[in-house]
Amino acid sequence: MFIIFLGPPAVGKGTQASRLVAHLSAHHLSTGDMLRQVRREPSELGERLAELMDAGKLVSDEVVLDVVKSRMDVIGLDANYLFDGFPRTIAQAEALDAILSASDLAVNHVIELVVPDQVLVDRVKKRAALESRADDTPETVAKRVDIYREQTEPLVAFYGSRGIVSKVDGVGTVDEVFDRLISVLETGS
Ligand code: ADP
């Protein structure tokens, strides 16, 4: 099963994704985590990624797809996947379709976690105070939200025409949101 988890920065995706993969016995493919690992390596690519990520910009589709494909090669397609932070552009979504359809497979479910913008801003302020992610300054988060709206939100329509998108309200306690997610995945509502 291939599930895509969509949502703007600070919507709470990371927290919920960790719980979901445990519940679903799925592999968690977080491109943010995978790219952070690459950028830690002392290489030209690592430096380039650091620059882009710290500015809140997207990494190129080519690099992202390389990282995702090599991970999928290792895991194999006969597994449950939760994609978190991927695809982020229509080009990435088309590339994922191509990978899956070559094996007669397809994305099964897309979940969009939604919260009002003001809640996002408040959460980012809190997160910036707790963690020290270089891309969590108010300016870069605003940039990431803009990029999300421009480049990633169109995926809702892209997959929506297939009838596989569910919107889930991300406001509430971690448990409340998790229960909503499970209910959508298990019953489709
Ligand atoms: P967020 O909290 O914004 O959802 P992530 O941890 O998913 O952050 O990603 C952090 C950064 O990594 C992004 O701002 C971007 O620079 C890069 N990134 C992650 N996934 C992708 C992707 N699929 N395509 C392009 N860039 C990506």
Q: Where do the structural domains in the chain lie, given as residue ranges?
A: 2-167
Best probe residue, ligand 1, of 135, 139, 155 (max atoms within 8 Å of C-beta):
135
Cα-Cα end-to-end distance for the chain:
18
Determine the Cα–Cα distance for residues 189 and 178; give it in Å rounded to an integer.
Answer: 14
Ligand 1 atom nearest 36 alpha carbon: 12
| Predicted structure pTM score | 0.91
3-class secondary structure, 154: helix
Spatial CB neighbours of 170, under 8 Å, sequence gap ≥ 6: 7, 11, 12, 113, 114, 115, 119, 177
Q: Is the CB of 52 under 6 A from ligand 1?
A: yes
Residue nearest to atom 1 of ligand 1 (CA): 9
Give the homologous superfamily in CATH for domain 2-167: P-loop containing nucleotide triphosphate hydrolases (3.40.50.300)
- Per-residue pLDDT tens digits of the chain, which is 189 residues long: 999 999 998 888 999 999 999 999 999 999 999 999 999 999 999 999 999 999 989 999 999 999 999 999 999 999 999 999 999 999 999 999 999 999 999 999 999 999 988 888 787 777 767 766 677 777 888 888 889 999 999 999 999 999 999 999 999 999 999 999 999 998 876
CB 119 within 8 A of CB 171: yes
